[in-house]
Chain A
Amino acid sequence: RKEVEQDPGPFNVPEGATVAFNCTYSNSASQSFFWYRQDCRKEPKLLMSVYSSGNEDGRFTAQLNRASQYISLLIRDSKLSDSATYLCVVIRSGTASKLTFGTGTRLQVTL
């Protein structure tokens, strides 16, 4: 079983829709969590960190569920420019120099 798993998608949604992705992690010692965004044939860029209490940044909301070992990303009012691959990143306790990436979930927002 992979340490970090994501549904690869693609998720095809119309503009204005709300879409949610989940990411599950297998190691209960995982400590920190992030969402990165990667546009086609480009480098990944940090979208947001995921805090235990949940956090929001504009149209984006990230949640952490430690009991079920998953994190989620909710995008409201989707824009065409949100089309990208969203990468889940996990850091295990004691390995703060090693990031583990999920394979990514592809989102395509259409008119």
Chain B
Amino acid sequence: NAGVTQTPKFQVLKTGQSMTLQCAQDMNHEYMSWYRQDPGMGLRLIHYSVGAGITDQGEVPNGYNVSRSTTEDFPLRLLSAAPSQTSVYFCASSYSLGGLAGYYEQYFGPGTRLTVT
């Protein structure tokens, strides 16, 4: 049982480039989410999904796209990277019985450290 996996661990992009951060979980969790963590800001929710085919915006969605075609995978796409997107990105998953995902333990992946120059 690998839990939540994220790739890559580190990435350097130039301004304007696009890329996809991968996230996968093998716990059959309905709920998956993406956060970014910046110094002094805490973790901020980017996008989340309560099941395959369903996604919604979090607190800071601009510049990011997501899709959820399977229960296991929840990739995050940066459309045109900007220096302001330099951050550590965490993917998380949890159960979501009755739509109450927040009440369950969130399992986080190890993170992707992204630098945009």
Contact = CB atoms under 8 A, between A and B. Distances in A.
B42 A42 contact: no
Contacts of B116: none
Given A43-B111, A87-B42, A103-B40, A95 B102 contact: yes
Interface size class of B (residues with CB under 8 A): 20 to 34
Contact of A42 (B33, B99, B110): B110
Interface of B is mostly: mixed
Nearest to B110: A43
Interface of B: 31, 33, 35, 40-45, 48, 50, 56, 58-59, 90, 96, 99-103, 105-106, 108-111
Interface of A: 4, 8, 32, 36, 42-46, 87, 91, 95-104
29 contacts: A4-B42, A8-B40, A32-B102, A32-B103, A36-B106, A42-B111, A43-B109, A44-B90, A44-B106, A45-B108, A46-B105, A46-B106, A91-B102, A96-B101, A96-B102, A97-B31, A97-B48, A97-B56, A97-B96, A97-B102, A98-B45, A98-B58, A98-B59, A99-B45, A99-B106, A100-B45, A101-B43, A101-B44, A102-B42
